[in-house]
Amino acid sequence: MMNPMQLKHTAAVLADVLTFRQPADAVVSAYFRRERKLGRQDRHEIAETVFAAVRHGQKISAVLPRPHNQPRRAALAALVLGRSVNLSALADVADEEDMAFLAEVKARKSEFSGSLNTAAELPQWLIDTMRADGFDDDAVLAFGRSVVQGAPLDVRVNTLKGRRDKILAALQAEGLACSPTPYSPWGIRFADKPALNKHPLFLDGTLEVQDEGSQLLALLTGVKRGQMAVDFCAGAGGKTLAMGAMMHGSGRLYALDVAEKRLANLKPRMVRAGLTNIHPQRIESEHDARIGKLSGKADCVLVDAPCSGLGTLRRNPDLKCRQSADSVAALRAQQHSILQAAARLVQPQGRLVYATCSILPQENEAQIERFLAENPGWQPRDCRLILADNKIDLDTGVYLRLNTAEHGSDAFFAAVLERS
């Protein structure tokens, strides 16, 4: 249970987080680096309450205008609304006025269910955008409710170092609550998010933290031994590593990204995974002249495009307040440009996979429709058939459309295109 010291630190973090000027996880991490005396349990209580405040921000804002200016009250409201703490348990941290405020919060719970903003815990800009993209209010509400809780921990088994069934049995023998992911043949899901960063199977590269949906994106590339492949927006390289394992460490796999820091983080992970076929390369943009040397040579190119990230709200709940209709419009222009540039690298009969972790058709299906209209000679491949070839029973149509409520993963979209 939260004590007065933890509440003080939580309020200090929320005063910054609730301005939404920076990513919430970055603010929390920076604060913990400064406050080195905080113990493990302190950090857990503070982080859980901060993210509960973000997840339940619409309700908190309804009773507490400009909550970043009243971060202590916001923290208390988060304990009640987001962490289901009884008022009686807060007697040591809340004064009489606080308790009166919290009683009002509880009394307004039925009112919250009558408004779409507070019932779905989504800001108005996002509700309007989803409606414009064809979502009815029931679908908006279902989406909001599916992402209001935190995500479980998914990991991918590096098939160069072990088999999932044996690794799963070993983890369960240690007393860890885990199970196979329902779709990815490489995935294991932990119910209670244990700290794995010092586990021997993590340190030796047998396990990599990766959401199941992200694992399926790598699988859709169909990349094989000895081929040349490109991860066009590699980031920290989770899908790059999965593709490298699919290639059995052979061939050439280029990991391209504009962020040097993210690519630098990939290098030690490559070593742990035992992969020597990956070639990280920083580029200035999708128009970088150095990309030209790969033109028409790749068997497969994966484009996990920059996007709104709205499919990852379980992990990054602040995105719903940090994005906007204008930022989504800017991302759409960038997505189109990147997709066009990436397509030039694919050889005849090669494969191009376009993916986002967005729920919005304007970032997904609309981009593919535009690309196909502007680029004759490309045909969509049916994702259902590719998955079935890998003994995965998952039917979301020609395109892969994962949603949290139905599939239990982050929400992802993917289209597989082949060049004639």
- Give me the pLDDT at residue 74, please: 97
User: For residue 114, what are its two tokens?
Assistant: 């009558």
- At 150 the pLDDT is 92
Q: Where do runs of H (alpha helix) occur along 147-295?
A: 164-173, 200-203, 212-220, 238-246, 260-273
Supply the pLDDT for residue 98. Answer: 94
* Two tokens, residue 386: 């590719």
Q: Tell me if 43 sits within 8 A of 50, measured CB to CB.
A: no
Interior/surface letters 173-197, b for 16+ CB within 10 angstroms, e for the rest: eeebebebbebbbbbbbbeeeeebe
pLDDT of residue 109: 85
- Catalytic residue flag (residue 357): yes
- CB count, 10 Å around CB of 21? 10
Domains of the chain (ranges; CATH) run 4-113 (1.10.940), 116-146 (no CATH), 153-209 (3.30.70.1170), 212-419 (3.40.50.150)
Per-residue pLDDT of 3-41, as tens digits, reads: 999 999 999 999 999 999 999 999 999 999 999 999 999
Residue indicated by tokens 């390369």:
281
Site of tokens 């004639």: 420
Q: Which residues contact 97 (CB under 8 A, 6 or more apart)?
A: none
Which helix (H) or strand (E) segment holds residue 180: the answer is strand 178-180
* Residue ranges in the chain modelled with pLDDT below 70: none
Per-residue confidence (pLDDT) for residue 75, from 0 to 100:
97
Q: What distance in Å separates the CA atoms of residue 214 and residue 211, rounded to the nearest whole number?
A: 5
- Indicate the residue type of 384: R
How many CB atoms sit inside 10 A of residue 337's CB? 14
178, 300, 307, 357: the active-site residue: 357
Element (H, E) at 400: strand 400-402
Nearby residues of 26 by Cβ (< 8 Å), 6 or more positions away: none
Two tokens, residue 257: 């990204």
The conformational region for residue 397 under phi > 0 = left, psi -120 to 50 = alpha, else beta, is left
Asked if residues 352 and 363 have their Cβ atoms less than 8 Å apart, the reply is no
Tell whether the torsion through CA atoms of 416, 129, 22 and 29 is positive or negative.
Answer: negative
Q: How many whole angstroms separate alpha carbon 287 and alpha carbon 114?
A: 49
pLDDT at 21: 96
Alpha-carbon span 70 to 50, nearest angstrom: 13
